[in-house]
Amino acid sequence: MPMKVGFIGLGIMGSRMAANLLREGHDLTVYNRTRAKAEALLGSGAHWAGSPAAAARGVEVLITMLSEPTAVRAVAEGPQGFLDGLNAGALWVDCSTVNPSFSREMGGACDRLGLRFLDAPVSGSKGPAEKGELAFLVGGAEADVATARPLLDVMGSGVSHMGPVGAGSAMKMVTNLLLGMGAVAFAEALVLGESLGIARETLLDKLLGGRMTPGFLAGKKAKFANGTYEVEFPLQWLHKDLQLVSTTAYETGVVLPAAHATKEVFGLARRAGLGEQDYSAVVEVLARKGGA
Amino acid sequence: MPMKVGFIGLGIMGSRMAANLLREGHDLTVYNRTRAKAEALLGSGAHWAGSPAAAARGVEVLITMLSEPTAVRAVAEGPQGFLDGLNAGALWVDCSTVNPSFSREMGGACDRLGLRFLDAPVSGSKGPAEKGELAFLVGGAEADVATARPLLDVMGSGVSHMGPVGAGSAMKMVTNLLLGMGAVAFAEALVLGESLGIARETLLDKLLGGRMTPGFLAGKKAKFANGTYEVEFPLQWLHKDLQLVSTTAYETGVVLPAAHATKEVFGLARRAGLGEQDYSAVVEVLARKGGA
Amino acid sequence: MPMKVGFIGLGIMGSRMAANLLREGHDLTVYNRTRAKAEALLGSGAHWAGSPAAAARGVEVLITMLSEPTAVRAVAEGPQGFLDGLNAGALWVDCSTVNPSFSREMGGACDRLGLRFLDAPVSGSKGPAEKGELAFLVGGAEADVATARPLLDVMGSGVSHMGPVGAGSAMKMVTNLLLGMGAVAFAEALVLGESLGIARETLLDKLLGGRMTPGFLAGKKAKFANGTYEVEFPLQWLHKDLQLVSTTAYETGVVLPAAHATKEVFGLARRAGLGEQDYSAVVEVLARKGGA
Amino acid sequence: MPMKVGFIGLGIMGSRMAANLLREGHDLTVYNRTRAKAEALLGSGAHWAGSPAAAARGVEVLITMLSEPTAVRAVAEGPQGFLDGLNAGALWVDCSTVNPSFSREMGGACDRLGLRFLDAPVSGSKGPAEKGELAFLVGGAEADVATARPLLDVMGSGVSHMGPVGAGSAMKMVTNLLLGMGAVAFAEALVLGESLGIARETLLDKLLGGRMTPGFLAGKKAKFANGTYEVEFPLQWLHKDLQLVSTTAYETGVVLPAAHATKEVFGLARRAGLGEQDYSAVVEVLARKGGA
């Protein structure tokens, strides 16, 4: 059954997720900071909202897919924010990657306003977003997951309900920590091996797809081989996620020495101008010589 | 065809490797710092050598399987060292995990003495050693690999000839770096997830065996679940290998920030008394509270 | 000339700063989360305010001295927050140690409300607070510094006007980064030296007060010598400040590898139960054995 | 009373130390890998030795001032090494910065040969070497220190007898660890401050010479201000020393997380081409943008 849905955030991921909802017949109102990114969707029948609040008016479910907590806060609570536009009982599904305490803060704000809330960050990048094969890591009440499920099933192929509000973001922190640390571990192994005279091709052949490296790296083989890193998941976003991990670890009182060293390697890569390339480009900042 | 073989170093790994050679009919002379560890082999027909030099006398191939470069140097070049005992043209196969520059130094010493040398560290721990399923990473001349191959094939199920002397140790540094970094990455992800209220069981189920973690961790699931870490590969040896990686990276001029942070986490674990447990026990030093 | 002043936050530092203002004849209204800490001041003539807003009503200058940004935000913008209580044109002087972007955010909020704002974190701990010898690092408009100066001169003995709003907090980040890194550098040097057989007393004699270590450590000599760390500046606050440094460095795009490693050492110390001792106790977490 | 002295290693430091001995009237025989560096001394009356062994023949005291343990080992134990050239009872004073276990190994080798040994690394760089104002950190027997003292007093202005053989190198590790960590702490503070808009000049004025930074940095002010780092103590040597610290900490079983992060920052600086500049140039690798 078609639902009335608001969608805020039409970047690489959001635009593809929204297109899938539209294709499935949902009644979609969209908002984005720059309207240009909405044009294709508008041409396919989506409605334009002039503000976050306008995108929220009258919808059953509002979906946000933004880059970071500050951006989410701005459209939610800033001027013409959507928390003011939603009807009582409406459901906000935040698919952005944010820290768990931020999710809980937003959940609390919804509670006080008589709104419902799910944190539902996604696993998967551009390709899966396009094919509707994202995996959702969801935190919130069972009933709210049930409300959102028809939409999540259109945008993705798996929903893991991890627990109460914040649990989706919690699991997302864990997975992106593994993503970042796995990438840097492989990068350091690669530069060590190359420095010892082993050809990069040999290292890639021996190490990717085997039991020494995580599966998510196998798909990056051509990138490492060619030294060109067409973006799937931008390095600067993973750097941002590692900063959220740092904040989160401080809040929960755990110590993550290698995660912080990893974060700073991404920081170096970003300073070196690799922020908009795929995160696997992190290897280059350790591989290249000179240049400080 | 049976060969006359010397074998030095009868620890967890070496005793099992030697037993396989003996079973296959090779004429084995063994030496170990403490004779007690040799008794089972002696009962099966191995000869006892009273010194490293004695173990080397008259053999075609001498195999060493020791804990670290210093230990290898002691039996090779120390008092009654085997370099004095080997016949001209004999082949030394060093299966110990050492740094590549040490392998090259030993290769150079052999050269000057008219001896042949292979560095041939192994992948695989206690179980594969027992079953003769180790994988050898070998550096040296093709002809020397050919000489050693019948023995390597008895002790293992795969020989990767990586290049000239030092290349086997080089690849071993790379793989053990991935081992250590993968273990600590998973440890940090686990403690972060638990600190956020996700049950350890859920984290193990979601993360092990999937694309977010390397395959070598999947076999450790019961260890993580029970919090008991029966040793397969002792934590203190992996710590040692990471120190060799540090030395090697300094020598080749590469920078490995996360590897060094990882090394220090293993150092903390060792100070906390976990050195003789399996290396996967590293998670405990980050998971437990109190205790400094 | 006596001023009408509100004061929020009566911890170790704030209570002593407020007492000095009161002694100098200023008309002081105070608020603290727990009233008990205010009793001594109330006995000396301060007025009690039942809420942050009440502490702000009618004052010319409102001073806050709280533990962290979240705490400042709560009393400023939370329920009965003081931003609603201040008269137009009143000046808020935030002496808390917070990150610069937070100071700028608060400055912006004041701007929009017709209020004035200074960030004015302090250098110095319990002793200097008591004697009115704190050093203020101030960001804001010249005119606002002039308004605050009579009060700052009572509470401290030096005012460094660093630049516009946020510049005081910026300099405070820099100094506390040096504090944390200096303490851990000395801790690591100390445990290295002791592990090599040099007596702690010898190390303290040779290294403190000389050119190898910063001056702020010389005053900690008795603490290191006795292994007891009576609190001047609690370890957990410095840990918090290093987390703010991490956030700030991410925001400005700089990479601080050693600062992050330092932060995690403080995190270990806190997990080990040292959070409420003096920050110099960080040495103990590296010095002690066992205990994970 | 003039002594018969051999001197090996005529770099920045060694050439100045030897010149002072010569000026004081000692009978000096010198050896250096490249003879060119010896010419000035030969012109002033020093004798040339064609090999390390030749430099040792007939001397009462042999002094070495070399860049690292490997270089020391080469001239001591390599072909035509000086351990073969020294008369029984002669004293070897090693002024090189090496790790304590290496000093103890050399001490042990001397013992077995009936030679005497002191480890006597120096504090101070080019200037103090020239003026004979070095500070010696000495490990060894009291009687051997007494023998060496007339020479040490010519080359330096202070002798700290730290304990038995190895104790001088131990204290040197401690001080150079503080040197490296202090420099990187200041570098990180500087780039953080600059990223927040505080002028470098302001930061230098506020921070150098005060209680927040160690005294050894105050003399580097002009370097930081100009961004040119005329060498006093080359960055690559301090990097080497931090690697020796890493080896040492592994050997003694202590954990130094921030020291290792610091070491890797120096590694980055070296890769960026700053190795031959003064170690204070480390700030540049964190300050500059781009360039990976």
Mean per-residue pLDDT pooled into runs of 10, chain D (292 residues): 96 96 97 96 97 97 96 95 96 98 98 98 92 97 98 97 98 98 98 98 96 96 97 95 98 98 98 97 88 42
Written as six digits, the tokens of D289 are 């943008």
Mutate to test the interface with B, among A162, A196, A243, A289 (most CBs of B within 10 A): A196
Written as six digits, the tokens of C138 are 């101030």
At residue C14, what are phi and psi to the nearest 5 degrees? -60, -40
**Contacting residues of D for B257, CB less than 8 Å apart:** 261, 264
Query: Is D285's CB within 8 Å of A292's CB?
Result: yes
Cβ-nearest to D260 among B264, B270, B271: B264
Q: How far is C272 from chain B (nearest CA, A)?
A: 4
Chain B, nearest residue to C256 by Cα? B257
At residue B290, what are phi and psi to the nearest 5 degrees? 70, -170
Chain C, nearest residue to B283 by Cα? C292
Per residue in B179-215, pLDDT (tens digit) is: 999 999 999 999 999 999 999 999 999 999 999 999 9
Chain C, nearest residue to A256 by Cα? C264
Which segments of chain C belong to CATH 3.40.50.720? 4-164
Report the alpha-carbon distance of residue B160 to residue B118 in Å, rounded.
12
Report the alpha-carbon distance of residue A41 to residue A23 in Å, rounded.
10
Whole-number Cα distances in Å, A60 to A38, A90, A284: 21, 5, 46
Helix, strand, coil in percent for chain C, rounding step 5: 55, 15, 30
Report the alpha-carbon distance of residue A284 to residue A273 in Å, rounded.
11
Query: Is A191's CB within 8 Å of B254's CB?
Result: yes
Whole-number Cα distances in Å, C269 to A247, C275, D180: 18, 7, 23
Report the alpha-carbon distance of residue C274 to residue B124 in Å, rounded.
41
Cβ-nearest to A268 among D257, D261, D292: D292
pLDDT of residue B124: 87
At residue C161, what are phi and psi to the nearest 5 degrees? -85, 110
Query: Is A255's CB within 8 Å of C267's CB?
Result: yes
Helix (H, G, I), strand (E, B) or coil at C61: strand
Pick the closest to residue B6 from B67, B101, B76 (CA basis): B76
Judging by beta carbons within 10 Å of its beta carbon (0-12, 13-18, 19+), is residue A157 exposed, middle or buried? middle
Report the alpha-carbon distance of residue C232 to residue C155 in Å, rounded.
18
Q: How far is B250 from chain D (nearest CA, A)?
A: 7
Cβ-nearest to A167 among B167, B197, B215: B197
For domain A4-163, which CATH number applies: 2.170.150.20, 3.40.1440.10, 3.90.1300.10, 3.40.50.720? Answer: 3.40.50.720
Query: Is C291's CB within 8 Å of B272's CB?
Result: yes
Annotated catalytic residue: which of D126, D172, D206, D220?
Answer: D172
**Cβ(D109)–Cβ(D83) below 8 Å:** yes
**Cβ(B234)–Cβ(B179) below 8 Å:** no
Whole-number Cα distances in Å, A79 to A53, A75, C82, D225: 9, 8, 22, 45
Q: Which residues pair with A28 in a beta bridge?
A: A5
Mutate to test the interface with C, among A77, A99, A188, A255 (most CBs of C within 10 A): A255
At residue A161, what are phi and psi to the nearest 5 degrees? -85, 105
Which parts of chain B have pLDDT scores under 50?
291-292
Which segments of chain A belong to CATH 3.40.50.720? 4-163
Q: How far is C17 from chain B (nearest CA, A)?
A: 34
DSSP code at position D278: B
Q: How far is C215 from chain B (nearest CA, A)?
A: 27
Strands C116-119, C91-94: pairing is parallel
Which segments of chain D belong to CATH 1.10.1040.10? 171-287
**Cβ(C190)–Cβ(C198) below 8 Å:** no
Cβ-nearest to D261 among B246, B260, B270: B260
Per residue in A137-188, pLDDT (tens digit) is: 999 999 999 999 999 999 999 999 999 999 999 999 999 999 999 999 999 9
Tally of CA atoms within 13 A in the half-sphere of C134 that contains its CB: 29
Q: How many CB atoms neighbour CB B50 within 10 A? A: 10
Report the alpha-carbon distance of residue D137 to residue A179 in Å, rounded.
47
pLDDT of residue C174: 98
Q: Is the pLDDT of residue C288 over 90?
A: no
Query: Is A264's CB within 8 Å of C256's CB?
Result: yes
Whole-number Cα distances in Å, A43 to A22, A31, A95: 11, 14, 24
**Contacting residues of C for A109, CB less than 8 Å apart:** none
Which residue type is seen at D172?
K
Chain C, nearest residue to B260 by Cα? C261
Mutate to test the interface with D, among A195, A260, A268, A283 (most CBs of D within 10 A): A268
pLDDT of residue B290: 56
Cβ-nearest to B243 among D250, D257, D263: D250
Hey, CA dihedral for D65, D68, D70, D73, is it positive or negative? positive
Query: Is C292's CB within 8 Å of B289's CB?
Result: no
Chain C, nearest residue to D191 by Cα? C254
Report the alpha-carbon distance of residue B169 to residue D172 in Å, rounded.
32
Pick the closest to residue B168 from B72, B96, B246, B112 (CA basis): B96
Mutate to test the interface with D, among C119, C201, C256, C268 (most CBs of D within 10 A): C256
Q: How many CB contacts within 8 angstroms connect chain B with chain C?
A: 36
Report the alpha-carbon distance of residue C175 to residue C173 in Å, rounded.
6
For B81, residues 6+ apart whose C-beta sits below 8 A from its C-beta are B52, B53, B74, B75
Report the alpha-carbon distance of residue D158 to residue D237 in Å, rounded.
23
Query: What are the helix (H) ranges across B60-166?
Result: 69-77, 100-113, 126-131, 142-155
Q: What is the residue whose two structure tokens read 């002696």?
A: B42
**Contacting residues of D for C166, CB less than 8 Å apart:** 196-197
Architecture of domain A171-287: Orthogonal Bundle (1.10)
Instruction: Please write down the long-range contacts of A126-133, taking CB distance under 8 Å and 24 or more positions apart.
Output: A126/A12, A126/A13, A126/A16, A126/A231, A126/A232, A126/A233, A127/A232, A128/A156, A128/A157, A129/A12, A129/A13, A129/A16, A129/A17, A129/A155, A130/A16, A132/A20, A132/A156, A132/A157, A133/A157
Report the alpha-carbon distance of residue C67 to residue C109 in Å, rounded.
20
DSSP code at position B11: S
**Cβ(D66)–Cβ(D96) below 8 Å:** yes
Query: Is A272's CB within 8 Å of D291's CB?
Result: yes
Strands B91-94, B116-119: pairing is parallel
**Contacting residues of A for C271, CB less than 8 Å apart:** 253-255
Chain A, nearest residue to D257 by Cα? A257
Report the alpha-carbon distance of residue A88 to residue A109 in Å, rounded.
13
Q: How many CB contacts within 8 angstroms connect chain A with chain D?
A: 36
Chain A, nearest residue to B217 by Cα? A211
Contacting subunits of D (3+ beta carbon pairs below 8 A) = A, B, C
- Model ipTM value: 0.95
**Contacting residues of D for B247, CB less than 8 Å apart:** 243, 247
Query: Is D260's CB within 8 Å of B255's CB?
Result: no
Q: Is the pLDDT of residue A290 over 60?
A: no
Annotated catalytic residue: which of B4, B172, B220, B240?
Answer: B172
Helix, strand, coil in percent for chain D, rounding step 5: 55, 15, 30
Mutate to test the interface with D, among B255, B262, B265, B270 (most CBs of D within 10 A): B255
Report the alpha-carbon distance of residue D187 to residue C217 in Å, rounded.
19
DSSP code at position C228: -
Q: How far is D94 from chain A (nearest CA, A)?
A: 32
Q: Which residues of B touch D (CB under 8 A)?
A: 240, 243, 246-247, 249-250, 253-257, 260-261, 263-264, 267-268, 270-271
Query: Is B284's CB within 8 Å of C291's CB?
Result: no
Q: How many CB atoms neighbour CB C44 within 10 A? A: 12
Chain D, nearest residue to B249 by Cα? D267
- pLDDT average, residue stretch C180-185: 98
Chain C, nearest residue to D216 by Cα? C211
Which residue type is seen at D166?
G
Contacting subunits of C (3+ beta carbon pairs below 8 A) = A, B, D
Q: How far is C179 from chain D (nearest CA, A)?
A: 7
Cβ-nearest to C271 among A253, A264, A270: A253
Tally of CA atoms within 13 A in the half-sphere of D55 that contains its CB: 30
- pLDDT average, residue stretch C63-70: 95
**Cβ(B240)–Cβ(B196) below 8 Å:** no
At residue D271, what are phi and psi to the nearest 5 degrees? -60, -30
Cβ-nearest to C268 among A240, A255, A271: A255
3-state secondary structure chain A: CCCEEEEECCCHHHHHHHHHHHHCCCEEEEECCCHHHHHHHHHCCCEECCCHHHHHCCCCEEEECCCCHHHHHHHHHCCCCHHHCCCCCCEEEECCCCCHHHHHHHHHHHHHHCCEEEECCEECCHHHHHHCCEEEEEECCHHHHHHHHHHHHHHEEEEEEEECCCHHHHHHHHHHHHHHHHHHHHHHHHHHHHHCCCCHHHHHHHHCCCCCCEHHHHHHHHHHHHCCCCCCCEHHHHHHHHHHHHHHHHHHCCCCHHHHHHHHHHHHHHHCCCCCCEHHHHHHHHHCCCCC
Annotated catalytic residue: which of A4, A37, A131, A172?
Answer: A172
**Cβ(D260)–Cβ(B260) below 8 Å:** yes
Q: How far apart are the first and last CA of chain B?
A: 58
What is the percent of chain C where pLDDT is above 90? 96
Confidence of residue C125 (pLDDT cuts 50, 70, 90): confident
Cβ-nearest to C173 among D192, D212, D214: D192
Q: How far is B84 from chain D (nearest CA, A)?
A: 18
Tally of CA atoms within 13 A in the half-sphere of D42 that contains its CB: 13
Domain topology for B4-164: Rossmann fold (3.40.50)
Cβ density class B183-218: b for 16+ within 10 Å, e for less = bbbbbbbbbbbbbbebebebbbebbbeeebbbbbbe
Q: Which residues pair with C214 in a beta bridge?
A: D214
Whole-number Cα distances in Å, A228 to A192, A283, D290: 20, 11, 17
More confident residue, C264 or C124: C264
Written as six digits, the tokens of A210 are 């085997």
Q: How many CB atoms neighbour CB D162 within 10 A? A: 26
Pick the closest to residue A190 from A267, A285, A264, A283 (CA basis): A283
